[in-house]
Structure 1
Amino acid sequence: MHSTLLRSSPTKRTFVSEHHGPFPALSLKDMEAKQHPIKSLKSYPETGGRSLAAAPGGDGGGGGGGGVFRAGSAEMDMEAKIQKAIDFKVEGHRCYKEKKFREAIGKYHRALLQLKGVHVIDGTAGSEVNLLSQAGTKMTEDQRRAVERTEIECYDSLTACLLQSELVNYERVKEYCLKVLSHQRDHFKAMYRAGIAFYHLGDYECALRYLRDAKNREPSDTNVLRYIQLTEMKMSKSCQRERESGKETQG
């Protein structure tokens, strides 16, 4: 009989091959271990600790199809997240127009959460270990512009919503304005609202700096001019109190 046979005896087991002749057989456990050696992720330094699916040719076989599939899947996921973020932003704008400010805030935050996922895929989310970006998935220039534009609009709209609250969280307003200005330095509304936030937080020097920047952009804006005046009055009173306190100390 020419097919491969597995013969056993009470004392030893022999594997007979039609091409290679008989040789001592391995136990099933040993055969599986030799056919499928298992290594931890740390044992693949060339992949930087990635899973095999994320590594080039990581389909478990000899070809690179798995890596291509993974990268293509990540690109589709990225595009879907960007579109979902834009959809949430649009819903936020609708809620804002309807004066549903709390709902609008929720929509803008959900949009930003989607964009955070995009940055993770792209590998621009700080020090996070990013498996997908190592597979070569990066934003296109058009996608990058769409993400930046959506982030600016969301943070800008969040500050507008927060300023409509009865108890305004000026610390949060400041934070969001600075995020906008980190993307777009000459953003008028962010300059103006940052000035307002610093004013109410008692940092009059920073408030005046941002308000003057806003005035340079819009010299005739009455709201900016009014806040500059209020800020200068606060600074003047603060200086006067310091002088009076100094005199009392000397006396």
Structure 2
Amino acid sequence: MAALQILLKAILLILAVPNSLEKKKCFFKQYHPYFEQDLYASYIIEFYKDKKFREAIGKYHRALLELKALLLSQEASGQRAGAALSEEHRQAVEAIEVDCYNSLAACLLQAELVNYERVKEYCLKVLQKEGENFKALYRSGVAFYHLGDFNKALYYLKEARARQPTDTNVIRYIQLTEMKLSRCSQREKEAL
């Protein structure tokens, strides 16, 4: 029961996660019969519509800590009665963790001074678990572009384009990256 209480606490902390809204609502309803859609919507409005990205970042970090605590307590407790999570619950926790990292990256990209290293780190964590995740592929490409690693940027951006070929942001960043690579190639030729 303690593990379930920690899980509920973690879910409450991350109600602002916008990705996979329906999946999280169904999961939350399963464990909290008093869940109201208005509560969920108000959190999203609070953090995203009002552009309170710094507050959202704090919530996501706290939620990730709670999720890690949940998983660690499950591993440490072994098979004690009521302490272990089922495989389904573990997968749900991991899906929420992926959404948190993806949303963290989105929030960080909205900051005045973007920490592209952290955006890259969070997106790569998402891609370790969901290699096909379009948003993580795109954001990884953007992060690598701004970090000056144009070859990796182009790789991730092309992977994103393979999943959503008409996305204008992906197309624009691919063009920018190809221009940067072309300039770098010209400079190398001139240096020889």
Q: Calculate the TM-score normalised by the size of structure 1.
A: 0.62
In structure 2, the CA distance between the partners of 1:230 and 1:91, relative to structure 1 (3 Å rule), is closer
Contact 1:92 1:105 in 2 (8 A): no
Aligned to 2:66: 114
Distance 2:179 2:98 in 1: 32
Q: What CA deviation, in whole Å up to 9, does each residue of 1:106-127 have, x standing for no partner?
A: 111111010110121122xxxx
Contact 2:17 2:99 in 1 (8 A): no
Matched, 1:160 2:137: no
Q: Can you give the 5+ residue segments of structure 2 that lack an aligned partner in the other structure?
A: 19-42
Distance 2:63 2:54 in 1: 15
How far the C-alpha of 1:103 sits from its partner, in A, is: 0.6
Structure 2 counterpart of 1:133, from 78, 89, 108? 78
Aligned to 1:176: 122
Distance 2:130 2:16 in 1: 23
Aligned to 1:243: 189
Structure 2 counterpart of 1:191, from 137, 142, 155? 137
How far the C-alpha of 1:92 sits from its partner, in A, is: 5.7
Distance 2:14 2:178 in 1: 37
Contact 2:150 2:181 in 1 (8 A): yes
Aligned to 2:13: 88
SS state of the match for residue 144, structure 1? helix
Distance 2:126 2:65 in 1: 16
Matched, 1:105 2:57: yes
Aligned to 1:26: none
Q: Name the % identity.
A: 57
Kindly name which structure, 1 or 2, has the bigger radius of gyration based on alpha carbons: 1
Distance 1:215 1:145 in 2: 28
Q: What one-letter code is carried by the residue in structure 1 that aligns with 2:9?
A: K
Q: What CA deviation, in whole Å up to 9, does each residue of 1:25-57 have, x standing for no partner?
A: xxxxxxxxxxxxxxxxxxxxxxxxxxxxxxxxx
Aligned to 2:153: 207
> Which structure features the higher share of helix residues?
2
How far the C-alpha of 1:139 sits from its partner, in A, is: 2.1
How far the C-alpha of 1:91 sits from its partner, in A, is: 4.2
How far the C-alpha of 1:79 sits from its partner, in A, is: 1.0
SS state of the match for residue 112, structure 2? coil
Q: Calculate the TM-score normalised by the size of structure 2.
A: 0.81
Aligned to 1:149: 95
How far the C-alpha of 1:135 sits from its partner, in A, is: 4.5
SS state of the match for residue 114, structure 2? coil
How far the C-alpha of 1:142 sits from its partner, in A, is: 2.1
SS state of the match for residue 78, structure 2? helix
Aligned to 1:34: none
